[in-house]
Chain A
Amino acid sequence: MSLLEVEDLRVSFPTPRGPVEVVSGVSFTLGRERLGIVGESGSGKSMTGRAILGLIRPPGRVVARRLVFDGIDLLAQSETAMRKIRGARISMVMQDPKFSLNPVMTIGDQIAEAVKAHRRMPRAALRQRVLDMLVSVRIDEPARVAKLYPHEVSGGMGQRVMIAMMLIPEPDLLIADEPTSALDVSVQRQVLEIIDDLVKRTGMGLIFISHDLDLVAGYCDRILVMRNGEVVEECAARDLAQARHPYTRGLLAAVPRIDESRAELPVLERLA
């Protein structure tokens, strides 16, 4: 049975000129594999991730013909039930650790809190678990780092802490929303390897949301390309070069290459 089934997902928000659909009829299934959702800003990719987690609050509206996770109908769950699923079974890593980590708690305390939310543990065992989690994301001096505050560590380290926190309850599905966009190129590789490693070890499903088509192509098994709330292309990552939809081809062509020889970059046709 597939891990996640999404059929005709629609998210809309009211505006002074009437409701606007930011996600219009997105459908896909996800097994224990890595799915990349690629799109530019306004494509609805982040909203899709949030809709799955039930993080869209009124006045936003989420409807779907099917939104089923491991047999559970996510749309029918109450907020209390969703809270149990969030974090424990579906987790999310976001873009900028500066904004997603609590600035007034030490890193060790925050991870401990994440552990305590799902399991009760004696204090000594808790401390060891925190250190273990830090080691699993390749942080070399876990005891020292656990005492630091988020602003005292680099972006890359902050993001690794975030991943550690999100993976403590060993969820079945991880949604990563632009996890490396705020990081330097040299650190991106490291963070991606860590996610890759953890996904392989635990057999998690991964939804990787990004604007970087090349990155996703090299990292995921399947790719969904979104534009203006709709899925315009779905293909295996290795078949990306043979993508058929003009938008995808346009995106691929518009990125400059390091051995660039064109005088002008091809530009996508604007919709509005």
Chain B
Amino acid sequence: MTDTTVTTISTRDWLLADSPASRAQARLGSAYRAYLTLRRNPLTVIGALIILILLLLAALAPFIAGADPIAQDLPNRLKPPGAGHWMGTDELGRDIWARVIFGTRITLEIVVLVAIIAAPVGLLVGAVAGYFGGWADRLLMGVTDIFLAMPKLILALAFTAALGPGIEHAIIAIAIASWPGYARIARAETLTIRRSEFVSAVQLQGASNTRIIVSHILPLLTSSLIVRVTLDMAGIILTAAGLGFLGVGAQPPQPEWGAMISAGRSFILNQWWVATMPGFAIVIVSLGFCFLGDGLRDVLDPRSGERR
């Protein structure tokens, strides 16, 4: 069945094909359609670009910073933004631009680790509680409620006080404060999903509860969880900055943005750039996550998922 003329199908058509020929093509097709929808919203594109830039800066920090973030240069302390130092220097003469760039690494580390720890834990707890109901539900939700009852920052503060200052402990503390929210959402959605007919259908096939939760329920929870986590990242950054500001997060001389703001407090009137530059960075990155999260919600919302 060889043809002398080969019809090549464009990648776009292959991805948008009505009848995929393999599981991989089906999955890639879905992802592509999601990408097209995301692209349509200008705010989402801006958010995605901001995050992309964040990732690039973190990866290429040594090449972009142009200076050592922890090298002190006392004669040049508190210089305003200008030719040699794009964001000026801080009270120890360190280049603020370099510190902000290297600070992206710390920010990313915090945000990613908190998400990786808190989200799966919350997801599992919520799904199990929602699916089984009864005493399992009451027990798990009781524990969740205990954690939810305390304000995030205070809770994180309490844990770092117990564990000691430092960025790793700050990450654990924020993760502990974050997982209950995800558990609540996962549980609420599981309650709806568990009454669906496709769950009844697979129960009728003799599937074990583990299979139902892992293979049928969890995949449906990931959409709203991804949206929730992305939107929360702004809050996580702010909490980390808050801890840093209070001195219990990243320790000097690490260029953590919150700690930088704290250090710049005393000079804010005359040397505004010391505190404001890292402040801008926090605002921009938080906004980026918010925009992206909103856009993801439009794409991944399970209610409109049918109409994708």
Is there direct touching of A and B in the complex, by C-beta distance under 8 Å?
A: yes
Residues of A within 8 A of B (CB): 16-17
Which chain B residue has the least Cβ–Cβ distance from A17? B16
Residues of B within 8 A of A (CB): 16, 33, 36
Which chain A residue has the least Cβ–Cβ distance from B37? A16
Chain B residues, Cβ within 8 Å of A16: 16, 33, 36
Which chain A residue has the least Cβ–Cβ distance from B40? A16
Which chain A residue has the least Cβ–Cβ distance from B33? A16
Cα distance, A106 to B36, chains bound together (Å): 44
4 contacts between A and B (CB under 8 A): A16-B16, A16-B33, A16-B36, A17-B16
Chain A residues, Cβ within 8 Å of B36: 16
Chain B residues, Cβ within 8 Å of A17: 16
Chain A residues, Cβ within 8 Å of B33: 16
Which chain B residue has the least Cβ–Cβ distance from A16? B36
How far apart are B16's CB and chain A's nearest CB, in angstroms? 7
Cα distance, A17 to B36, chains bound together (Å): 12
Cα distance, A17 to B16, chains bound together (Å): 10
Cα distance, A16 to B33, chains bound together (Å): 9
How far apart are A235's CB and chain B's nearest CB, in angstroms? 35
Cα distance, A112 to B41, chains bound together (Å): 41
The 4 closest A-B pairs by CB, nearest first: A16-B36, A16-B16, A16-B33, A17-B16
Cα distance, A16 to B17, chains bound together (Å): 12
How far apart are B150's CB and chain A's nearest CB, in angstroms? 33
Chain A residues, Cβ within 8 Å of B16: 16-17
How far apart are B35's CB and chain A's nearest CB, in angstroms? 11
How far apart are A13's CB and chain B's nearest CB, in angstroms? 11
Cα distance, A69 to B16, chains bound together (Å): 43
Cα distance, A17 to B12, chains bound together (Å): 11
How far apart are A116's CB and chain B's nearest CB, in angstroms? 33
How far apart are B11's CB and chain A's nearest CB, in angstroms? 15
How far apart are A172's CB and chain B's nearest CB, in angstroms? 35
Cα distance, A16 to B36, chains bound together (Å): 9
Cα distance, A17 to B33, chains bound together (Å): 12
Which chain A residue has the least Cβ–Cβ distance from B36? A16
How far apart are A88's CB and chain B's nearest CB, in angstroms? 33
Cα distance, A16 to B16, chains bound together (Å): 10
How far apart are A272's CB and chain B's nearest CB, in angstroms? 10
Cα distance, A220 to B36, chains bound together (Å): 46
Cα distance, A101 to B33, chains bound together (Å): 35
How far apart are B303's CB and chain A's nearest CB, in angstroms? 14
How far apart are B28's CB and chain A's nearest CB, in angstroms? 16
Cα distance, A17 to B18, chains bound together (Å): 12
Cα distance, A204 to B224, chains bound together (Å): 48
How far apart are B70's CB and chain A's nearest CB, in angstroms? 50
How far apart are A47's CB and chain B's nearest CB, in angstroms? 16
How far apart are B13's CB and chain A's nearest CB, in angstroms? 10
Cα distance, A74 to B215, chains bound together (Å): 52
Cα distance, A16 to B38, chains bound together (Å): 13
Cα distance, A199 to B136, chains bound together (Å): 57
How far apart are B17's CB and chain A's nearest CB, in angstroms? 12
How far apart are B127's CB and chain A's nearest CB, in angstroms? 28
Cα distance, A156 to B206, chains bound together (Å): 38
Cα distance, A227 to B33, chains bound together (Å): 29
How far apart are A17's CB and chain B's nearest CB, in angstroms? 8
How far apart are B308's CB and chain A's nearest CB, in angstroms? 10
